[in-house]
């Protein structure tokens, strides 16, 4: 459309935006859920490739720390120290090899890899810690803190693994991490007491034991009954009593301490292994379940999206179809039906006007618009009918007034002709001739009004009249007839039924040429037989018209418009167009070589007839016109005379003819 996009494109855009948003949201949710499910399915790979080896590393670091504590206490066994250190190095290498494999690395995200590098960095510090232990540069408290860097890094890695599970498994995994931290705290207490030979830093021991007690309760809270059951078998009561003895200032040997702590750590480590395997066994089915749920949700979402698209497209098409039908009906009403109806009303017809319903569709708003269009149509039709009736009434009134003027003018012409016959005074006769000429022009103007309002002149001749006599008679009806020169024309006649109309047509063109040229210039009229009939050229040497004016006037002459009382310009051309259209005459204006305008009138061949021979007139006697003819005013002095006498030409061409109104 010229003003912008079509309603169809706007509906498509309106529906496409929410549908696209729905598809994007569905895709995001499906991909996110699938990603989480895939993470759960990768838990087994992560567990086997990282967690198992990291847990073994932590356990062996705890054993090495205990051996280092014994060395600080002076009760070390070099073989045991070397064996624990070799076990730690072996576990560290196994973790590095397994965690850096392609399968494991593909299962890790960026944050997991970063935390894994932190574990490797903590393990890389073990040789420096060992050198400090060998030199005896570490206190029991410092010993515990240095070895704790490895377990702390592993816990942070475990926390990142837990985030990759669903909500239920995340809670259980956090409980398992907390349980592992409890084991680490037990190991720290053990190393602290052993390194201090039963006389540890009581403040640090109290802090570690308090953290261990709180962390154990938290772990048991996050673990369910199945995962909690192995820890219920851990003999922690002797450990608690031993710690209480030390913190209360009591005495406790290393042997007594180890008798309480060693069994607890052994059972606790076994419980960690059992609960870890149980949690791992849950991860894969959970991942499979999430994938299944994600697949079902994705499928349902896809079906919903497809249904939404189908429904939206169908509704959009239906709405566009209804609007297109409404637009087509409105255009048909505005561009075809109403103009056709108005055209028929202008022709005087009274067509039967069916009240056809405009298609409205099923949408309420569109139905309301269609109803409004129907009301507009009915109102427009009623207005058109009213305008046609009003126009016809105005035309009828003007036509009646023109007919009355015609009748009065005709009576006046008859009276003038009678007075001309009774007057012998040359001066009075000349004035009567002038008055006769003015009256003849008045009759022509009255006939023009009759023609414009849809009537007919009512005058006619019997037989054929020479074209030259018709043109001469037309020139006699022009005010400046003395400036008109009719050049000799070939003998050719026109039908008597068309004489009055053609004489009126020529008179309008000649008067227009005389009115728009200088008083000293001649208006030339020439005629000749051509291939398609008889052509008459009326040429003036006046001001002329520009190309645009010529195009407008020729268009008006080719297709006579309906009479509009408000359009009072160039009524003569409107009369000429009506007369030419009535008889199939072609009238064309063109520029004259002398600067004025030339009007070319082409009379069709079917309008031409052979004129009757002129009857001989007795010398000194004015011939009487044929039946229905009357005498008229004198011929213009510069109008060429034809074969008839002047009196006969005046009587023939200035008469009313037959059938006067």
**Could you tell me the residue ranges of all domains in the chain?**
45-164, 458-653
Domain at 458-653, CATH class? alpha beta
Residues 588 and 431: their CA atoms lie apart, in Å, by: 37
**193 in Cβ contact with 239 (< 8 Å):** no
In this model, does residue 600 exceed pLDDT 90? Answer: yes
Residue pLDDT, tens place only, 357-408: 555 556 676 677 777 767 776 777 777 676 666 666 555 555 555 556 656 6
Q: Where are the alpha helices (DSSP H) in 196-236?
A: 202-222, 225-228
85-89, 90-94, 141-145, 411-415: segment of lowest average pLDDT: 411-415
- Which residue did the predictor score with more confidence, 596 or 454? 596
**458 in Cβ contact with 421 (< 8 Å):** no
In this model, does residue 640 exceed pLDDT 80? Answer: no
State what percent of residues in the chain have pLDDT above 90.
6
- The torsion defined by the Cα of 464, 465, 467 and 468, in degrees rounded to 10, comes to 150
Average pLDDT value over all residues in the chain: 74
In this model, does residue 529 exceed pLDDT 80? Answer: yes
158's CB contacts (< 8 A; 6+ apart) are 51, 54, 173, 177, 180
- Which residue did the predictor score with more confidence, 433 or 502? 502
Residues 178 and 137: their CA atoms lie apart, in Å, by: 31
Residues 263 and 585: their CA atoms lie apart, in Å, by: 132
- Residue 655: its pLDDT value, please? 47
Write out the two tokens for 101.
Answer: 């494999």
């Amino acid at each position: 459309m010229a003003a912008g996009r079509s309603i169809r494109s706007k509906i498509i855009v309106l529906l496409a935006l929410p549908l696209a948003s729905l598809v994007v949201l569905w895709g995001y949710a499906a991909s996110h859920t699938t990603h989480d499910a895939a993470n759960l399915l990768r838990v087994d790979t992560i567990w086997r490739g990282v967690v198992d080896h990291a847990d073994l590393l932590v356990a062996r670091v705890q054993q090495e720390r205990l051996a280092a504590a014994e060395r600080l206490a002076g009760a070390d066994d070099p073989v045991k120290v070397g064996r624990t250190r070799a076990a730690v190095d072996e576990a560290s290498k196994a973790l590095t090899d397994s965690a850096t494999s392609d399968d494991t690395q593909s299962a890790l995200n960026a944050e997991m890899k970063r935390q894994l590098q932190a574990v490797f960095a903590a393990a890389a510090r073990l040789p420096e810690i060992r050198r400090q232990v060998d030199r005896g540069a570490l206190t029991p408290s410092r010993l515990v803190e240095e070895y704790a860097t490895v377990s702390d890094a592993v816990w942070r890695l475990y926390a990142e693994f837990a985030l990759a599970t669903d909500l239920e498994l995340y809670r259980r995994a956090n409980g398992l991490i907390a349980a592992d931290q409890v084991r680490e705290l037990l190991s720290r207490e053990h190393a602290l007491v052993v390194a201090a030979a039963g006389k540890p830093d009581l403040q640090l021991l109290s802090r570690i034991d308090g953290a261990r007690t709180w962390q154990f309760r938290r772990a048991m809270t996050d673990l369910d009954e199945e995962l909690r059951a192995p820890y219920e078998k851990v003999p922690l009561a002797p450990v608690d009593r031993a710690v209480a003895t030390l913190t209360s200032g009591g005495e406790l040997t290393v042997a007594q301490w180890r008798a309480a702590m060693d069994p607890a750590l052994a059972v606790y480590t076994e419980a960690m292994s059992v609960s870890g395997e149980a949690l791992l066994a849950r991860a894969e089915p959970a991942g499979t379940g999430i994938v299944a749920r994600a697949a079902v949700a994705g499928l349902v979402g896809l079906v919903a999206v497809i249904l939404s698209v189908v429904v939206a497209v169908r509704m959009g098409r239906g709405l566009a179809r209804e609007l297109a039908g409404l637009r087509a009906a409105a255009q048909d009403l505005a561009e075809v039906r109403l103009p056709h109806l108005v055209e028929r009303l202008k022709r005087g017809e009274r067509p039967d006007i069916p009240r056809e319903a405009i298609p409205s569709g099923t949408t309420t708003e569109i139905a309301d618009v269609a109803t409004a269009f129907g009301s507009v149509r009915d109102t427009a039709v009623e207005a058109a009918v009213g305008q046609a009736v009003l126009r016809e009434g105005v035309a009828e009134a003007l036509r009646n007034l023109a007919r009355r003027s015609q009748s009065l003018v005709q009576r006046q012409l008859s009276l003038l002709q009678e007075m001309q016959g009774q007057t012998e005074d040359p001066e009075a006769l000349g004035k009567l001739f002038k008055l006769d000429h003015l009256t003849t022009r008045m009759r022509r103007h009255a006939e023009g009004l009759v023609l414009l309002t849809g009537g007919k002149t009512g005058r006619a001749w019997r037989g054929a009249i020479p074209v030259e006599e018709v043109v001469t008679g037309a020139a006699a009806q022009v005010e400046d007839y003395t400036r008109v020169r009719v050049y000799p024309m070939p003998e050719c006649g026109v039908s008597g039924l068309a004489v009055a109309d053609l004489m009126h047509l020529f008179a309008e063109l000649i008067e227009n040429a005389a009115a728009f040229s200088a008083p000293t210039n001649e208006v030339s009229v020439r005629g000749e037989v051509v291939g398609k009939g008889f052509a008459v050229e009326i040429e003036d040497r006046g001001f002329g018209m520009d190309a645009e004016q010529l195009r407008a006037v020729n268009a008006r002459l080719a297709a006579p418009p309906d009479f509009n009382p408000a359009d009072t310009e160039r009524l003569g051309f409107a009369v000429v167009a009506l007369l030419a259209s009535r008889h199939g005459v072609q009238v064309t204006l063109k520029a004259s070589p002398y600067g004025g305008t030339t009007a070319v009138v082409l009379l069709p061949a079917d309008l031409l007839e052979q004129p009757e021979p002129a009857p001989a007139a007795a010398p000194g006697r004015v011939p009487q016109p044929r039946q229905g003819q009357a005498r008229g005013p004198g011929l213009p002095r510069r109008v060429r005379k034809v074969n008839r006498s002047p009196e006969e030409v005046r009587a023939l061409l200035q008469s009313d003819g037959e059938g006067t109104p």
